[in-house]
Structure 1
Amino acid sequence: MWAAPGHCLPLATLLLCLLLQQPGSSRAWKQHAPRLRLTYKDLLKSNSSRLLLASGDGMDFQALLMDEDRAWLMVGAKNNIFLLHLDHPNREPEKIFWPAPKEQVKHCQLAGRNVETECANFIRLLQPFNQSHVFACGTGSYQPVCAFIQLGARGKGARAPRMQLVTHSLESGRGRCPYSPHEPFTGLLLGGELYSGTSSDFMGSSAAFFRTWVHGAEPSYIRTEQNQDHWLHEPTFVGAYAIPDTYNPHDDKVYIFFRETAMEAGQWERRHIHARVARVCKNDVGGKRSLINRWSTFLKARLVCSIPGPQGTETHFDQLEDVFLLHTRDPRNPLVFGLFTVSSGVFSGSAVCIYSMAAVRAAFSGPFAHKEGFDYRWVEYKGRVPYPRPGTCPSETYDPLLQSTKDFPDELISFMRSHQLMWEPVYPQGRQPVLARVNVPYRLRRLLVHRLDTDSYDVLFLGTGGSSSARPGDTAGQLLWHSASPGAPSPDSSSRCFTDDGKVLKVALAGGASPAPEVISLEEISITKVPSPILDMKLSPKRQELFVSSTHGLLQLSLYRCELYGRTCTDCCLARDPYCTWDSKSCAPHLLTEKKRARCQDVLEADPLSQCQDTAEGTAVVEKVVFGVEKNSTFLECLARSPQSSVRWLVRRGEETAPSEVRGQGGGTRSRGGFVPRD
């Protein structure tokens, strides 16, 4: 309460603060405001997290591998691999100490690398090989090395077996793991074959997409062509996934997601970064007389994630940061969630776009790009396309006479040497992002998606990293929701500015991955005590937990904090958190594994009038006696617990008169937390 001359609050005047949520007004809610904002201290008080591994010397917990069925989590760090038994949280983690040779550490130092942050064996790759072995690779102090980790067989009634490094399996990690601990890369192990996108030299100047055999065969490999910019030009690899194309396994393909410096621009135009999706056939073994040990089915297309603007201008998010494949009932048609960023002197931010595999396949079935003309520009190729169509896998689906890529005709192989790029790009659902964060002091770097309630809700978990400074006048913390429908909420200029990394954002898409889902920002949580970017995240739907790693630690985080939403059904309902429900006494989590369950709230509608019994006509009225002094003003505090609530002020002068709503500036001065009435 505070006072200022010139304002008077008569004692006979009664003001009521009404916190309102009217049915049918959900589309106008302030969806950009997170329902909960928790600092690291607040998170510890909530008892919804636990620090599993801590480090004071920059352990860099970069690689996570989880087995939900056997309840263990493997963690790759600096010179160490840890195995945590999730069903026994008090058990000491098993550990393998795997440093780089001392001679190689000295060579790394002599090459000018930092002994603490670079000259060590940083474990970057953990991939399941079978029930008893995991394939692991580390940087080896700028000499990549790989080996098998043996878990052993689980004996009857026996304690979980100790893991150990299979020393006789040590081999070079070149083409499998990056030399640098900081370089983004991707790796996918399928049937004893490792698909990896990484640099292949000490300087990190030559990157390629490889396939190497890790077991049961003589050492051999296949890769993209060297020193050919139209194949790959300064690529940064993000992810690789095996996705079947038909019911015939011989048609299966591996899809690669990356970003690169685009070659489509003219010689004198500014260089641009483009996001890409590429694919290769799993049964590609290269050509017979040309493209020997080179991919003969490698094709790529541009991924577009942009916000349409006036006069046909668009804001493009071209720097692909992360990809999540959301599996559906049809294994051939998962949804592709892409996390993008953009950084320029005018605009910076992050966005999430959703792609269908139908759109991806349509681009690869369309026309090819081609260089021609006096200025040697990229145009649509309109010449004759050889048979079988470039990019087709050798199988009986298309031609029973083609048993291998070595059987491809020379005309096709010659075409594939210079035609990797597709002319048509891949557009997202709705032709725009489902959400975008712009002009914030951090960027979104990691993405996980959890689908709930039979396609009704998708929950996005977003990890931050890589600080960027907001310019003067920018509104920090803006969450823009771009929808085809008018009336989308505008950014909240009163949002607080956050300047540190190490946050996890929880955002719900009500309606799932429909063309225009409703976006609900639920939580914004600081998970590190010291600013530190999120390095990796793993989701455990079975345990309803999120595992988040950073340079300084590994945190186990519950998917919900229902009790923090409030003590009433209205508060719980307005939170619109699909993990929470009102159980007639409190806002509590419900079991997501149950197919049939009773819950009071509907996240899509969230109407407390029909879902709660503790409100009258959908309105919660708070009455409070406040004593004022004549000829002075009195500050009446009224804080809305939910950002989905609206605030109205009613005044009644005298006991016989009915309350009337205070409108405009005539009745007083409104503030963010209350109201100063005027006599």
Structure 2
Amino acid sequence: MALILYGVVSLFLGMATTLGPVPRITWEHKEVHLEHFQEPETFNYSTLLLNEDKEILYVGAREVIFALNSLNISEKKQEVFWKVTEYQKTRCAEKGKSKQTECLNYIRVLQELNDASLYVCGTNAFQPICDHLNLTSFKLVGRNDDGKGRCPFDPAQSYTSVMVDGDLYSGTSYNFLGSEPIISRNSLQNPLRTEYAIPWLNEPNFIFADVIRADPDSAGEDDDKVYFFFTEVSVEYEFLGKLMIPRIARVCKGDQGGHRTLQKKWTSYLKARLLCSVPDKNLFFNIVNDVFILKTPSLKEPVIYGVFTPQLNNVGLSAVCAYNISTVEDVFVKGKYMQSTTVEQSHTKWLRYNGEIPKPRPGACINKESRAEKINTTLNLPDKTLQFVKDHPLMDDSVTPIGDRPRLVKRDVKYTQIVVDQVRALNGTLYDVMFISTGKSNGRGNQYLYAGSNAGVVQSPVAFCDKYSTCVDCVLARDPYCAWNPHASSCVHIFKESETERDWIQNISGDASSCSDKVREHSLQHTFKHGSTAELKCSQKSNLAQVVWKFKDDVLKVESPKYRLLEKALLIFNLSEGDSGVYQCLSEEEVKNQKFSQVLAKHVLELKKVQHTTLSPTQPSTRTEGNGEMLKTSVVATEGSAAHTSTAPIVSVATSRIVTNPIVPDLMSTVSDMEHSNSLAEVPEKTLFLKSNDNSLLMFLFLFFFVLFLCLFAYNCYNGFLPDQCLKFRSAMLLGKKKPKTDFSDCEQSVKETLVEPGSLMTQSGDHPKPAHDTGYETEADCGNGHVQHDEEHSHSYKEVKDKPFDVKCELKFADSDAEGD
């Protein structure tokens, strides 16, 4: 299971107008400790419910419900299985569903009914069912309520639910095919649902639902409201394809439906578009993936956070937009309505309604103003108002985000979940921290985040304060959860510590000038062979910092071809004596025109050579340089081109060759300083011989094979085994000893006389001999060297021809003969 969570401070999000600020630090899964929970043969841990007071995390999976310790989810407290019967599986399979996967019971609803029980629902092999879970015995009561309209039939269908004062508000599908979406209130006294009509819901994908309580101090005595968030196919516009629109819908908790019109239907249902875009870049995010409503006592009003993506997300963009709840209410209470219309040759199907609006205002909750007009319940609303809201559920105005633009825009990632926490820093300032994930993130504790997936559940802390090892790093993190404790020299979680008097260092703006800690620098010693390549490693975690290398306290120009800067290392090619020295790797991070530097790594590079001298049989000697000191090298120096870090003590020796016999030399190693001979490593004689004589041996072998090659070449050339150019060379070399014929007429005539059919040189009738057919081949018979029988006269003429020099394969003017001409 892969999960990416990181915190983003709202102050830092002001940079989000461009395509995306990056988190300062990205922790990989292997770098942090996360608690996991997983049971064998159990899948789809998709429904999470956190009870912070009891420190229990309830998990709804496939055919089982777990109760886990919220402080350590690897500890399972209780479990209860909720499986379907074999008969139900068979009936489900007969309808074309998979008996192994779809025809099971997927837990989709986990809501707190009261302190003693949970309200739970499951798909139950495409026959949704609901029950009560007793938290004391952790067993199902067995009510088996019909789950239609409360839980989806298909485990792959979208859904959302929220429990409000004992009534379950849900958005799901009402039938087996998933073609009838509804938003309903499941109540024994006043069950309500949406009208089954396209203007009300058009292929919605339900995301989130929550309740916003009315301000008890409000003079209007307003009602509580339940908000639903979903993405649906647009009804305003009609194109060749389906245009998706993010929506927010609202219903009033006190709604009881209409008396004649909209019986058992919502009279307060209205919906509007959620606008999330970057106008100057022509970016529109019209798919809402998740919503979280931040409600804290310190806030004057709740804030809605939503995660969005474009419909055609071929560039992998994600955005986070925030909305004030007052902006939403202004749209529903004061905004214009839309009306269906027929316009020829236009893709627009709904326009703004500019006519008279009935009173009381359609879709409004029953409040003090309504009660003043003797309308104490929705059952008293006039039919004109009810008919208007039935035909005009869509608002013309859109809900615009805070600042008229996203809080965050990020490329190459798809955000699917968001959780927001509000943190008070040490200076008393409140910060909204967003936890955004690419996985399924369903719950938040005071100190932990919980995420469920198909494979299991993972628990992550809200901050990784202990991962910051220096004061500068801790402050530059700008994490309101973390502060630097100078007494303990550690970065601590401010809500986990119990100290009353705190002189901790924290600055959300990133000013780390108050840090005075000095980091102990550890140097790494390196010894390299001349001409090799060094790899000096340096790793830094901050995505906002720049790595700077210094050599002998001067900034290193890594643009030179001699250097190559990698992500976590520096390569130095063709090492020489001038490259010896101290290399420092620094991390430089600029915050508000202040630059903060930290030394990440320090490397000391030394180049050493192994020197060899030859000693006479009677007088050993050593080689000295400059000041007379003997040149020493390390026997542990690397032979390859890669860098090597030596952690063991370096042993230096000088090697020499001593000849003790003029005929049979004796090879041994000597040490210049005899007092330290016991501490030196012994080197085999054969190894020393190869090191001291390898150049001479190679030169000897080279000369030997070169002379051998010349001899073979001359021999083959002389015998005519090589091509034409070689024969020319041979003729030139033998020109002084053998004079070629100046006239080739006799030779040509001999060739003509030879290239005839042997049996027809002289016929009985006295005819002239016939030329032989040119077959393209030279044969012994054609050249007079065959075994055909002839008379003496003919044999004599063949002998004369045979003795004449020619080479059919070569041009005659380059022919050569060993016989002297007449």
The normalised TM-score by structure 1 is: 0.74
Max radius of gyration: which structure? 2
Structure 1 counterpart of 2:179 = 205
Distance 2:418 2:377 in 1: 37
| 1:569 CA displacement | 2.1
Q: 1:31 to 1:378 in 2, by over 3 A?
A: closer
Matched, 1:379 2:351: yes
- Match of 1:555, as an amino acid? V
Aligned mates of 1:338, 1:452 — CA distance in 2: 19
Q: 1:35 to 1:636 in 2, by over 3 A?
A: same
> Which residue identity does 1:581 align to in structure 2?
A
Query: Does residue 50 of the first structure (1) align with residue 35 of the second (2)?
Result: yes
Equivalent residue, structure 1, for 2:814: none
Distance change in 2, residues 1:182/1:599 (3 Å): farther
Match of 1:185 in 2: 159
Structure 1 CA distance, aligned partners of 2:355 and 2:394? 15
Equivalent pair of 2:338/2:352 in contact (CA under 8 Å) = yes
- Per the TM alignment, residue 558 of structure 1 is displaced from its structure 2 partner at its CA by 2.4
Q: Distance in 2 between matches of 1:394 and 1:547?
A: 39
Q: CA deviation at 1:97?
A: 1.7
1:440-461 superposed Cα distances (whole Å, 9 cap, x missing partner): 4xx3222111111166332222
Change (3 A) 1:595 1:447: farther
The answer to whether structure 1 residue 550 and structure 2 residue 447 are counterparts is: no
Q: Report the equivalent of 1:640.
A: 540
Instruction: Write the letter of the residue equivalent to 2:36.
Output: L
How far has the Cα of 1:369 moved from its partner?
Answer: 1.5
Q: Which residue of 1 aligns with 2:228?
A: 256
CA shift, 1:436, in A, is 2.6
Q: Distance in 2 between matches of 1:461 and 1:202?
A: 36
Matches within 5 A, 1:71-220: 71-86=55-70, 92-151=76-135, 161-167=136-142, 169-213=143-187, 217=188
Report the Cα distance in structure 2 between the residues aligned to 1:34 and 1:56, rounded to whole angstroms.
Answer: 37
The residue aligned with 2:762 is none
Specify the alignment match of 1:308 in structure 2.
Answer: 279
How far apart, CA to CA, are the structure 2 residues paired with 1:199 and 1:90? Answer: 35
> Displacement, 1:677?
6.1
| 8 Å CA contact 2:558, 2:564 repeated in 1 | no
SS at match of 1:36: coil
Structure 1 residues 204-213 or 55-64, which shifts more? Answer: 55-64
1:446 & 1:277 partners in 2: Cα distance? 17
Q: Say whether the 8 Å CA contact 1:276–1:300 is kept in structure 2.
A: yes
> Is the CA contact (8 Å cut-off) linking 1:105 and 1:115 kept in structure 2?
yes
The alpha-carbon deviation at position 583 of structure 1 amounts to: 2.1
Match of 1:3 in 2: none
- Indicate conservation of the 8 Å contact 1:128/1:135, yes or no: yes
Distance across 2 between alignment mates of 1:594 and 1:223: 51
SS in 1 for 2:394: coil
Return closer, same or farther for 1:564/1:280 CA change in 2, 3 Å cut-off.
same
State the 1:199 CA deviation. Answer: 0.1
Matched with 2:435 is 461
The answer as to 2:549 corresponding to 1:649 is yes
Distance in 2, Cα, partners of 1:370 & 1:90: 55
> Are positions 1:450 and 2:421 aligned together?
yes
- Report the Cα offset of residue 632 of structure 1: 5.8
Q: Secondary structure at the match of 2:438?
A: strand
Match of 1:36 among 26, 29, 51: 26
Instruction: Map residues 489-638 of structure 1 onto 2, 5 A cutoff.
Output: 534=440, 536-541=441-446, 544-565=447-468, 567-584=469-486, 585-591=489-495, 598=502, 600-614=504-518, 634-638=534-538
Instruction: Pick closer, same or farther for the CA change 1:612–1:324 going to 2, 3 Å.
Output: farther
Is 643-652 or 91-100 further displaced after alignment?
A: 643-652
1:437 lines up with 2:410 in the alignment: yes
Cα offset for 1:204?
Answer: 0.8
Once the two structures are superposed, residues 323-372 of structure 1 have per-residue CA deviations (whole angstroms, 9 ceiling, x without a partner) of 11111336772010101123426433322111111221122221111233
Query: Which AA in structure 2 matches 1:225?
Result: E
- What does residue 662 of structure 1 align with? 557
Change (3 A) 1:421 1:622: farther
SS at match of 1:251: coil
1:351 is the counterpart of 2:324: no
Q: CA deviation at 1:142?
A: 0.5
TM-score by length of 2: 0.62
Counterpart amino acid of residue 646 in structure 1:
Q
Whose helix proportion is higher, 1 or 2?
2
Comparing 93-102 with 595-604, greater Cα deviation is found at 595-604
Equivalent pair of 1:243/1:331 in contact (CA under 8 Å): no
1:341 to 297, 302, 309: 309
The reply to whether residue 426 of structure 1 matches residue 399 of structure 2 is: yes
Q: 2:222·2:367 contact (CA, 8 Å) conserved in 1?
A: yes
Deviation (angstroms), 1:110: 1.3
CA distance in structure 1 between the aligned counterparts of 2:356 and 2:442, rounded to whole angstroms: 47
The match for 1:325 among 293, 299, 310 is: 293
Per-residue CA shift, 1:588-626, capped at 9, x if unaligned?
A: 3332687976364434222332234327xxxx9887665
Does the Cα contact within 8 Å between 1:94 and 1:162 map onto a contact in 2? Answer: no
1:479 corresponds to: none
Single out whichever of 662-671 and 273-282 deviates more from structure 2.
Answer: 662-671
For the Cα contact (< 8 Å) 1:343–1:349, is it kept in 2? no
Q: Report if the CA contact (8 A) 1:251-1:281 is conserved.
A: yes
Aligned to 2:615: none
CA contact (8 A) 2:62 2:106 kept: yes
Gaps of 5+ in 1: 1-23, 152-160, 466-533, 653-657
1:423 aligns to what SS in structure 2? Answer: strand
Query: Which one has a larger percent strand, Structure 1 or Structure 2?
Result: 1
Give the aligned CA root-mean-square deviation in angstroms: 3.1
Q: Give the Cα separation in 1 of the matches to 2:499 and 2:388.
A: 52
Q: Name which of 372, 377, 386 aligns with 1:413.
A: 386
Deviation, structure 1 residue 556 = 2.5
Hey, what's the Cα distance between the residues in 2 that align with 1:352 and 1:551? 25
Structure 2 vs 1, CA of residues 571 and 196 (structure 1 numbering), >3 Å: closer, same or farther? same
Preserved contact between residue 252 and residue 281 of structure 1 (Cα < 8 Å): yes
Aligned to 2:586: none
Give the percent of matched residue pairs that are identical in Structure 1 and Structure 2: 31
Distance in 2 of aligned mates of 1:597 and 1:305: 44
Tell me: higher relative CO, structure 1 or 2? Use CA pairs within 8 A at least 6 residues apart. Answer: 1
Counterparts of 2:545 and 2:316 in 1: how far apart (Å)? Answer: 30
Aligned position for 2:192: 222
**Could you tell me how far 1:191 is from its partner in structure 2?**
1.8
Instruction: For 1:444 and 1:233, locate their aligned partners in 2 and report how far apart those are by CA, in whole Å.
Output: 24
2:207 maps to 1:238: yes
Residues 1:225 and 1:382: Cα distance change in structure 2 (over 3 Å): same
Whether the aligned pair in 2 keeps the contact of 1:60 and 1:550 (CA below 8 Å) is: yes
SS at structure 1 position matched to 2:156: coil
Q: Which region of structure 1 is more displaced relative to structure 2, 174-183 or 555-564?
A: 555-564
What secondary structure sits across from 1:360 in the alignment?
helix
Q: Which runs of 5+ in 2 are unaligned?
A: 1-11, 579-822
Note if contact 1:208-1:232 (Cα within 8 Å) is conserved in structure 2.
Answer: yes
TM-aligned CA distance change 1:288 to 1:90, over 3 Å: closer
Amino acid at match of 1:165: L
CA contact (8 A) 1:287 1:294 kept: yes
In 2, are the aligned partners of 1:328 and 1:335 still within 8 Å (CA)? no
1:272 aligns with 2:243: yes
- CA change 1:276–1:597 in 2 (3 A) is farther
